[in-house]
């Protein structure tokens, strides 16, 4: 199995309507993007380390898009040929640090804060804009939505990010999380499931 090794992880914030409402944030007029470092990447079955620098560690179930061909400045209609496929992802966040800093870099960037699936599901096998996405904390459903609730669908995201930076093969784009985000504690097991994509499970230590 060849695990992806992205040169960068580009994420979209507030990309589900109900999640924006959950945080009392206005619906964005264009994608809000931020970066997670490649050093944050772990895979299905790996541990999430609860850093002593945070007191409020959150899960965020997300659909991950893996780039297959380099692109820069492409249009929405040209986005899909540049996609390799999709993975389950968890945009782990130190929510207290996010509020404290006023920007998101530190809260999103700790080692182990980006668990993803080990297998990339080829793009031809799924419609990324109509997939049920769920998170289970110790077996209890905590997020349950559909990617159809995304404000900016996958093609829009790829095109927008490519207008800012060159995307390279194996780069990973996280497309936002639905409502229902919440806290994790040491010992918890967080499972992310996306219809037709699969699932990842990670223990908080």
**Quick one: pLDDT at residue 22?**
78
**Quick one: pLDDT at residue 20?**
75
Average pLDDT, the chain: 96
Q: What is the pLDDT of residues 133-178, one digit of tens each?
A: 999 999 999 999 999 999 999 999 999 999 999 999 999 999 999 9
| pLDDT band (50, 70, 90) for residue 1 | low
For residue 196, count other CB atoms closer than 10 A to its CB.
Answer: 13
| pLDDT band (50, 70, 90) for residue 18 | confident
Strand partners, 71: 167
Alpha carbon separation from 182 to 48, 93, 107, 141, 143 (Å, rounded): 15, 10, 14, 11, 9
pLDDT at 183 over 80: yes
- Compute the distance between CA of residue 131 and CA of residue 134 in angstroms, rounded to an integer: 10
* Three-state DSSP state, 61: strand
DSSP 67-86: E-S-BSS--GGGSGGGEEEE
By C-alpha distance, which of 161, 135, 5 is closest to 63?
135
Question: Quick one: tokens of 34?
Answer: 């931020």
pTM, to two decimals: 0.96
- Compute the distance between CA of residue 79 and CA of residue 106 in angstroms, rounded to an integer: 30
By C-alpha distance, which of 157, 161, 159 is closest to 147?
157
- Compute the distance between CA of residue 140 and CA of residue 131 in angstroms, rounded to an integer: 20
Helix then strand then coil, in percent of the chain rounded to 5, is 20, 35, 40
Q: What is the pLDDT of residues 78-116, one digit of tens each?
A: 999 999 999 999 999 999 999 999 899 999 999 999 999
**Quick one: pLDDT at residue 25?**
79
| pLDDT band (50, 70, 90) for residue 23 | confident
For residue 26, count other CB atoms closer than 10 A to its CB.
Answer: 8
- Compute the distance between CA of residue 172 and CA of residue 11 in angstroms, rounded to an integer: 8
* Three-state DSSP state, 160: helix
């Amino acid at each position: 199995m060849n695990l992806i090794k992205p040169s960068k992880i580009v994420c979209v914030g507030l990309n589900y309507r109900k999640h924006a409402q959950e945080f009392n944030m206005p619906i964005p007029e264009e994608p809000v993007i931020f970066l997670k470092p490649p050093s944050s990447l772990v895979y299905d079955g790996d541990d999430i380390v609860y850093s002593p620098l945070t007191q409020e560690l959150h899960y965020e179930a997300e659909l991950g898009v893996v780039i297959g061909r380099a692109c820069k400045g492409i249009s929405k209609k040209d986005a899909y040929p540049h996609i390799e496929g999709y993975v389950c992802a968890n945009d782990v966040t130190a929510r207290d640090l996010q509020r404290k800093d006023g920007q998101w870099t530190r809260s999103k960037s700790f080692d182990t804060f980006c668990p993803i699936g080990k297998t990339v599901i080829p793009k031809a096998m799924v419609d990324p804009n109509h997939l049920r996405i769920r998170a289970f904390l110790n077996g209890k459903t905590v997020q349950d939505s559909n990617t159809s609730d995304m404000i900016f669908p996958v093609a829009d995201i790829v095109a927008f990010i490519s207008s800012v930076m060159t995307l390279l093969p194996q780069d990973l784009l996280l497309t936002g999380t639905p409502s229902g985000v919440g806290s994790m504690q040491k010992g918890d097991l967080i499972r992310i499931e996306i219809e037709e994509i699969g699932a990842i499970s990670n223990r908080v230590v």
